[in-house]
Structure 1
Amino acid sequence: MSSLRVVTALGLAALTVVGTVAGSASAATAGPAAPDHRGAPNHVVGAYFAGWESGDFPVSKIPADTVTNVFYAFSTIADGACTVPSGAAGDFAALKQLKASHPNLKVSISIGGWGAGGFSDAALTDASRKKVVGACLNTFFRGYPGVFDGVDIDWEFPVSGGPAEIPARPADKQNATLLAKEFRKELDQLGGGHKLLTAALPAGRLQTGKGKYGDPYDPANSFDLGGIAKVLDWINLMTYDMGTGFSPVSTFNAPMAQVPSDPLGQPMKRWNNVTGAVQYYEQHGVPADRIVLGVPFYGRGFHVTQAGPNHGLFQPWDTSFDPGSWGDIKAKLLTDPAWEQHWDDNAQAPWLYNAAEQKFVSFENPRSIGIRSGYARAAGLRGAFMWEIAEDDSAHSMLNAMAKPW
C-alpha cells in the first residue's frame, strides 16, 4: 500500500522475466535466497490467516504441506498490551496441533492491521516500548507455549498514510525501528531457538489517511526502510491495494509494471506497481533476500460513469464495491457471461467488465499469481505471501500457483 524509484539493472532484468513466466512460473530458474545467519527459512511461502474467517475456514484447512509460514491476524495494541482476539484461543490450540503434524511450519502472531491504533503511543519512549513488547511476548509466548515462532508487526502506518483517526507523530519513523529492535532483543531472550521478527510494510499507493485525496504516499516517510530491514528477518511487502477507493479512476489492484495508458501522473505511475515497489525498497537499502512479495487473493470493484474505449479500465467512477475473494469471483462472476474477461500485458493482470451494469473488477487469477511469484524468485526475493488463505478456492489454485516457483 509507495515512492519514487529509478529502475536498477536488477529491476530491468526482472521485468524481462515477467514475459518469460507468463505461461509457466517454473520458467524462472534463479535459486531461492540463501538463509541468513539468524536461521530464517531458505524461502517463504507465507499465508495470512484471518481469525475472523475461522468459522468458515478453520485452521485445520490450512494446507501446511505447501505453506511454510502462517501469520495469524490480528492482535492489536490496547493500553500498552496486546489483545487476544475473540475465539483465538481455539485457533491457537488448532495451530499447535497443526504444527505437531508439520514440524517445519512456522507460526507468527501478526499485531496491528488496517485501522489498528495504539502503535504511536506504545512506541513513543524506551519505557513504553519495553512495556508493550514485554506484555505482548508474555501473552503469546508464555500464555500459549509451543504455538508461536515469531512476531509480525503490521503498523499501518507510522507518521502518515493510515486512517485519519489513528494517532501518528513525526517521531514514529524512528520509533518504528526502535520498537522492532526491542522486539528483536526480547525475542532473543526467550530461548528455545531463533524467533522470527517480520513486518508488513506498504508499497506504492495513493494517500488514504491524513493527506489530501489522491496525494502520493511514500513509505520512506513512514519507515527507515534500510534501518528496519537490518532488524527484521524479512519484510512482507504489501504489493497490493494500489487501486482502491482512493484512486481517481478504475484501475488494477496489483499491476506488475507501469501501464502506458494509465492516467496516473508521475512519479507515482513509475512505482505504483509490483516491480516498481520492489525496486524502490532495494534503492532504499533493503536487500532482495529480505523481501517477501505480497499477492492479493481478492478483487476490487468500481461502478464506472462511462465505459470508455478500454472496457471500463481507467475510467472515472462514482462508487466502489467489494467483488469478494478469488473463490467468489471464480464461482459467481467468471461463470456469468455478462462479465467479459480481459488481460493487460503490462499489468500482467486480468480484469472483468459488465457493460450492462457498468461495473469494473480488478482481480488476480492463478496465471497472474504465478507470474508475480515467478518474478519474486527470479529477482532473488525471499519468497511470496498472500492476503489471505481463506480467499482461495477449494482446490487451492491460487496458493499452488504462488508456491510453484519455490
Structure 2
Amino acid sequence: MWHGYCLVLLLLGAILMGRANSIAQQNSTKHVVCYHGTWSVYRPGLGKFSVENIDPFLCTHLIYAFLGIEETGQLRVIDAYLDLEDNAGRGNIKSFNALKLKNPVLKTLVAVGGWNEGSKRFSIVAGDPVKRAKFVDDVVRFLQRHGFDGLDLDWEYPDQRHSLQNEDRSNYITFLKELKEGLEPFGFMLSAAVGSAQFSAEISYDIPAIVPYLDLINVMAYDLHGPWDDVVGINAPLYAAASDASDSTGRKQQLNVDAIVKYWLLAGAPPEKLVLGVPFYGRAFTLTTAEGNQPGSPHIGKGIAGNYSREPGVLGYNELCELMQQEEWTQKWESEQQVPYAFRQRQWVGYEDARSLSLKAQYVMDHHLAGIMIWSLESDDFRGTCGQQSYPLLHEINRVLFGGKTPTGLTNESNEDKPNEEFCCPAGAPEGYVRDPENCSKFYFCNGGNTHSFDCPKGLSFDLNTNSCDYSGSVKC
C-alpha cells in the first residue's frame, strides 16, 4: 500500500525559498557554520577532501572558501578550473550548492578573503565609494548566478596587516552597510569572520556600529597561541591559565574563549548573532628539550607538518589522530584551560578533541550564543579512520547543541544506518521527495533506494507543488 504513494518528485531548482526558508531558520535554535577549504581536494591519500565528502545534514550553513578581491572592487575566482564549469572546469561550486537538494534547509555562502588574501586590497576598495559599489554589484551577480544564499566577508583585518590608511575601521562600517543594502532586497545573508581577542578586535571593529548589518558574526576564537609565542601554548583554551594573570600587559588574560566571548558581548554584540569559532586543527611546536613538555615550556619553533595539510606547525585532527594510532604519543588534559595537549619526544601539540569541543558547545548553550563555527570540515576525521564514525568532532558538537537531532530543525534518519519501519523508498527509484500520506508535516527524500526522513518545523507542512515546507494553512493536505 505504501508504494502506491511513492510518487517521486524531481527537484527542478533550489528549495525552501522565501518565507518557508525564513521560518525554518527561525525555528533552528542554533547554527553550525562549517567552512570548507576547497584546496583540500588536492591533498594526498586519505586527506583528499571534496564536496562529495561533505555531510549536508551536519551543518546549518556551509561556507565555500575562498574567493578573492581585486583593487578595482571586482571579485576574483582563485581556482577557476576547480570552481567553475567553464573551459571543462570541475564545477565545484555547482556541486557545493547542489547539496541543498539533499538538505532542504541548508544555507550556502561564499567567503571572500582569508588570511592569504591579506588586507591591502580590502583597504583600497573599502575606502573608495565607486569600488565599493563595484564589489557589491559583483557579489550580487555572483550569488545569483551560482545559487548561493549569502556572502561571508573575511577581511583579516581592518586597520591591520598592510592597510594603506587609518580609516579602515570606519570604512569597514560603510562597506558592511552598502553590502547589506545591496544583498537584502534579494534575501541574501551577510556574515563576517572577525578577529577575536580584545587587544586586536578593538583596533578593527566598532562593534555596535557593525552589528545592524550582519546576520551572523563568526568570531575566530583560535590561533590564540602558536609558534610565534616564546613558549608552547594551546590553540584555543576555553579559560585562562593561572599563569596568565602574571602578565602585566593583560594580553594573555584575553587569549581564551571565555574572555573573548565576554568582551564581544559587553562591547555590544547580541548573543543571538555571535557564533563561536572553533578549530579542527592544533598548533604544533618543537620543544627545546623532551623533558620540558608542560604548557608554558620553551620551544625552538614550529612542529612537524601533517601528512595531508603539509604545513609545519599545523596538525589537523584527522592527521593527529592517525599519528596517535601509529606512534606512541602522551595525551594530557589541561584542567585549567579545559583543553587537551599531547607530546612525543620533542614534538608538542595543543589541539581540540570531542571532550573539549563538547565543553565549548555547552558554553555556547549556557551563554545563549548563536552557535558554533568550524574551521574547517576537512580537518575532522571525516572518513572515520580513527574511530567508529565519520566526523566525530562535528557529531559531538551536534549532540550538545541539538540533543542528537540534525542541526536544521529537521529529523534526518537514513535506512543506511537504521531501517525505517514506516516507509521505504522503492529500490531503483530516482532521487526526489515524497510526502507522508498520513502526516503532511513529514516527508521523505529517496536516494538510490535509501530513505531519509524529515519533519517540517512546527506549524509548517510539506507542499507537493513547491517541494518545500510552508504555512499549514497554505498547503493542500
By the TM > 0.5 criterion, same fold?
yes
Give the partner amino acid of 2:30: H
Give the partner amino acid of 1:57: F
Q: Given that residues 284 and 349 in structure 2 are in contact (C-alpha distance below 8 angstroms), is that contact kept between their aligned partners in structure 1?
A: yes
Task: Work out whether 1:222 is the aligned partner of 2:242.
Answer: no
1:73 Cα shift? 0.4
1:149 Cα shift? 0.3
Alpha-carbon distance in structure 1 between the residues aligned to 2:157 and 2:247: 23
Task: Work out whether 1:293 is the aligned partner of 2:276.
Answer: yes
Q: Given that residues 284 and 315 in structure 2 are in contact (C-alpha distance below 8 angstroms), is that contact kept between their aligned partners in structure 1?
A: no
Instruction: For residue 67 of structure 1, give the secondary structure of its aligned residue in structure 2.
Output: coil
Alignment of 1:358-373 (within 5 A): 358-373=346-361
Instruction: For residue 115 of structure 2, give the secondary structure of its aligned residue in structure 1.
Output: coil
TM-superposition CA deviations, 1:113-171 (whole Å, max 9, x none): 00314100110022221111112222x22332xx20010010000102x3xxx334210
1:98 Cα shift? 1.1
Partner of 1:189: 185
Instruction: For residue 404 of structure 1, give the secondary structure of its aligned residue in structure 2.
Output: helix
Alignment of 1:4-403 (within 5 A): 42-55=29-42, 56-78=48-70, 79-86=72-79, 87-89=82-84, 90-117=91-118, 118-138=121-141, 140-144=142-146, 147-160=147-160, 162=161, 166-190=162-186, 194-204=187-197, 217-262=199-244, 264-307=247-290, 311-321=293-303, 322-333=313-324, 335-337=326-328, 339-354=329-344, 356=345, 358-393=346-381, 394=383, 395-403=390-398
In structure 1, runs of 5+ residues without a counterpart are 1-34, 206-216
Alpha-carbon distance in structure 2 between the residues aligned to 1:158 and 1:40: 34
Give the partner amino acid of 1:45: V
TM-superposition CA deviations, 1:313-362 (whole Å, max 9, x none): 2112211132421001001135422x2111111111110122x3x22111
Partner of 1:21: none
Alpha-carbon distance in structure 2 between the residues aligned to 1:219 and 1:379: 20
Instruction: For residue 348 of structure 2, give the secondary structure of its aligned residue in structure 1.
Output: strand
Q: Given that residues 201 and 237 in structure 1 are in contact (C-alpha distance below 8 angstroms), is that contact kept between their aligned partners in structure 2?
A: yes
Percent identity, aligned pairs only?
Answer: 28
**Residues 126 and 295 (structure 1 numbering): CA distance in 2 closer, same or farther, change over 3 Å?**
same
Q: Given that residues 126 and 168 in structure 2 are in contact (C-alpha distance below 8 angstroms), is that contact kept between their aligned partners in structure 1?
A: yes
Alpha-carbon distance in structure 1 between the residues aligned to 2:219 and 2:27: 17
1:40 Cα shift? 9.4
Instruction: For residue 47 of structure 1, give the secondary structure of its aligned residue in structure 2.
Output: strand
Give the partner amino acid of 2:159: V
Instruction: For residue 60 of structure 1, give the secondary structure of its aligned residue in structure 2.
Output: helix
In structure 2, runs of 5+ residues without a counterpart are 1-21, 43-47, 85-90, 304-312, 384-389, 402-477
Q: Given that residues 158 and 169 in structure 1 are in contact (C-alpha distance below 8 angstroms), is that contact kept between their aligned partners in structure 2?
A: no
1:65 Cα shift? 1.2
Instruction: For residue 358 of structure 2, give the secondary structure of its aligned residue in structure 1.
Output: helix
Alpha-carbon distance in structure 2 between the residues aligned to 1:130 and 1:54: 33
Give the partner amino acid of 1:359: Q
Worse-matched range after superposition: 54-63 or 267-276:
54-63
Alpha-carbon distance in structure 2 between the residues aligned to 1:341 and 1:266: 32
**Residues 274 and 334 (structure 1 numbering): CA distance in 2 closer, same or farther, change over 3 Å?**
farther
Alpha-carbon distance in structure 2 between the residues aligned to 1:97 and 1:195: 17
User: Taking CA–CA contacts closer than 8 Å with sequence separation of 6 or more, which of the two structures ends up with the larger relative contact order?
Assistant: 1
Q: Given that residues 59 and 94 in structure 1 are in contact (C-alpha distance below 8 angstroms), is that contact kept between their aligned partners in structure 2?
A: yes
What TM-score, normalized by structure 1, do the two folds share? Answer: 0.81
Q: Given that residues 97 and 108 in structure 2 are in contact (C-alpha distance below 8 angstroms), is that contact kept between their aligned partners in structure 1?
A: no
1:306 Cα shift? 3.5
What TM-score, normalized by structure 2, do the two folds share? Answer: 0.69
1:265 Cα shift? 4.5
Alpha-carbon distance in structure 2 between the residues aligned to 1:336 and 1:306: 19
Alpha-carbon distance in structure 1 between the residues aligned to 2:247 and 2:231: 9
Alpha-carbon distance in structure 2 between the residues aligned to 1:168 and 1:229: 25
C-alpha RMSD over aligned residues: 2.1
Alpha-carbon distance in structure 1 between the residues aligned to 2:356 and 2:204: 30
**Residues 45 and 266 (structure 1 numbering): CA distance in 2 closer, same or farther, change over 3 Å?**
same
1:81 Cα shift? 0.8
Give the partner amino acid of 1:350: P
Alpha-carbon distance in structure 2 between the residues aligned to 1:365 and 1:46: 18
Q: Given that residues 70 and 107 in structure 1 are in contact (C-alpha distance below 8 angstroms), is that contact kept between their aligned partners in structure 2?
A: yes
1:42 Cα shift? 3.6
Give the partner amino acid of 2:166: P
The number of equivalent residue pairs is 347
1:100 Cα shift? 1.3
Q: Given that residues 40 and 196 in structure 1 are in contact (C-alpha distance below 8 angstroms), is that contact kept between their aligned partners in structure 2?
A: no
Give the partner amino acid of 1:49: H
Q: Given that residues 197 and 255 in structure 2 are in contact (C-alpha distance below 8 angstroms), is that contact kept between their aligned partners in structure 1?
A: yes
